[in-house]
Structure 1
């Protein structure tokens, strides 16, 4: 049980596996007015940057669940580096269907709502671990500009235009699920650039070192087309944000 290699190669230098800069992640932590001892659950926690930095900066505790063995190793190393290994724990496992043993104060899934079959299913999943009055964090794409053709839809990593919503519709969807949106921090084009462009450098450096690897042809094909596709389609059409929710 692990992520395909191409995913870990593409984001090998990333600490945040979404179009969020460290500054935006820190802004979100401050905006939530986190207090020491806040108990968090982070499903699909990646390299653990959110839990580790918030443990350092706000005194939270928590557990991250992720399917990537590389991500779990990085998260544990980051916790040790920041001196918070006694506050946060990282478990290798499938976050789909995971429910905390006891209710938590903060339940999050940042950019991986596929674990619940989409935003609605992930809200329901996280709600099963959240105490009454707790905070839920959902990281989700949305359309900045609605695509006019299927080519644009697919270039933005969707199968259908309906896979993502415009920002007002996404916010209203959370309301129909019984939650108030109480905070949000949105990616901008610069943070998208930092996320995507760093992938290209990772791929190129890996390819230079591993020209005969079985993945070399796949990496070369991606590196040849990804920058232009991003600039033509994704950068203009796709937004992303983290939304803080509280049950009504």
Structure 2
């Protein structure tokens, strides 16, 4: 069980596998007013930076599940590095359909809503794990400006323009599902650049270390095309944020 190899390569040096920076996660933790002992479930937890830093800064407890064996191992190492291995644990597994054994205070899916087949399904899944007064966190892209063509949308790795909403419509969609949006923190251009551009040096170094790997051709193609694609499409059109929701 694992994610596609290209992601394990391109994001192997990432601590955060989305356009957030450490400062953005610190802001999110602060605005959520996290208290000591808050229990958090994180589906698609990546390399564990959110849970680990919040365990250090706010004394939360948490469980993260991720399909990438590499990222799960990195998360466990990060917890030990920050001295919070007794507060958070990470499971290498498929988070699809995962429900906590005991209700949690916060259930999160930050940038992996494919786990629930989209935003609606992910909200339904997270709702099974939170306490009645709990909160869920959804990390999701939105259009900063509407792509003029389907080709532009595909350049942002969307299947079509209809895959994502503009920010006002995304916020309204949460309300239509019966949830109040009680906070949001949005990625900025610097966060996008750090997330995307950091992959390029990783790919270059991987190619140097693995010139005869059967996968080198694909990595080479990605390194050649990604800088232009990102600057032309994702950087101009795609936004991303984490939205805190509570049931009405």
After TM superposition, the structure 1 = structure 2 runs for residues 63-82 of structure 1, keeping only pairs within 5 Å, are 63-82=63-82
Distance in 2, matches of 1:163 and 1:150, equals 11
RMSD (CA atoms): 0.6
**CA deviation map 1:14-33 (0-9, x unaligned):** 00000000000100000100
SS at match of 2:184: strand
SS at match of 2:126: helix
Structure 1 residue 146 and structure 2 residue 146: aligned? Answer: yes
Aligned residue in 1 for 2:55: 55
Distance in 1, matches of 2:141 and 2:4, equals 22
Distance in 2, matches of 1:231 and 1:43, equals 30
Distance in 1, matches of 2:54 and 2:135, equals 15
Give the superposition deviation at 1:81. 0.5
* Number of residue-to-residue matches in the alignment: 248
SS at match of 1:243: strand
**CA deviation map 1:195-221 (0-9, x unaligned):** 100011111111111111111100111
Give the superposition deviation at 1:140. 0.1
Aligned residue in 2 for 1:220: 220
SS at match of 1:228: helix
Structure 1 residue 17 and structure 2 residue 17: aligned? Answer: yes
Give the superposition deviation at 1:46. 0.4
Structure 1 residue 182 and structure 2 residue 182: aligned? Answer: yes
Distance in 2, matches of 1:178 and 1:96, equals 23
Distance in 2, matches of 1:54 and 1:133, equals 20
SS at match of 2:52: helix
Distance in 2, matches of 1:21 and 1:135, equals 22
Aligned residue in 2 for 1:103: 103
SS at match of 2:169: helix
Aligned residue in 1 for 2:165: 165
Aligned residue in 2 for 1:156: 156
TM-score, structure 2 as length reference = 0.99
Aligned residue in 2 for 1:135: 135
TM-score, structure 1 as length reference = 0.99
SS at match of 1:29: helix
Distance in 1, matches of 2:162 and 2:127, equals 24
Off by >3 Å, runs of 4+ in structure 1: none
